[in-house]
Amino acid sequence: MPALVEWGLRDYQESLDEMRSMVRARRAGTIPDTLILVEHPPVVTVGVEGDDGSAATSGLPVVNVERGGRATYHGPGQIVGYPIVDLEPRARDVRQFVHHVEEIVVRTLVPLGISAGHVSGKRGVWVAGERKIASIGIAVDHWITFHGFALNVDPDLAAFDRFHPCGFSGGVMTSVARETGRATTVHDTIPQVVDAWAEVFGRPFERSLTASPPSGSLPARA
């Protein structure tokens, strides 16, 4: 059974180092498929497709990473999910896995009263095909996935105006709080993510923690 690890608010670079370590552990078979849920202090990450240079002038810390996609923002009020999953039993189908990660976000939003979906030619999850509520960026190492999704629950959306997220203007970004008009927290949203994972992959999380969390992290969720 897969494991769920919650890290709370944690530095991006520290999380990245730990995530890469867990990829190696998954490849060695010492941990099961694992979903990490975390919030980060404000940071812009730039994927392998690069950006137009606006990230460097955003005034925010910038980290170049190996995931797909271009530049995006992470910050408090955004739930970031990193699935560490072995694709060998999944026919090494990266495209299908990315679609499944998007579908997890889509189903997470349903009980929150938001209808969202996929848009052909646009990565991520969109509301009404026009407002981007979640970004998706996956990396694969020896058929083990890492990086993942970033769902805007109630972040500072003005941060997206400081660069061009995924090549778009910052105004395209939206959040759960903006769409519903209600204050919403990451903590309140996690149960919906857990349920959506089980619906999409057909496997609920186990109760025991199987991957060592960083100091100060939250325990695994049943």
For 177, residues 6+ apart whose C-beta sits below 8 A from its C-beta are 77, 153, 154, 183, 184
Among the listed residues 43, 48, 36, the one whose alpha carbon sits nearest the alpha carbon of residue 63? 43
The Cα–Cα gap between 13 and 75 comes to 13
For 70, residues 6+ apart whose C-beta sits below 8 A from its C-beta are 46, 47, 49, 50, 51, 165, 166, 167
Angle at which helices 94-109 and 186-201 cross, to 10°: 130
* Inter-residue contact 45 to 39 (CB < 8 Å): no
Distances (CA, A) of 62 to 46, 120, 146: 7, 29, 19
Question: What is the distance, to the nearest Å, from the Cα of residue 39 to the centroid of all Cα atoms in its chain?
Answer: 10
Query: Among the options 109, 166, 173, 211, which is catalytic?
Result: 166
Question: Would you call 166 a catalytic residue per the annotation?
Answer: yes
Catalytic residues: 166
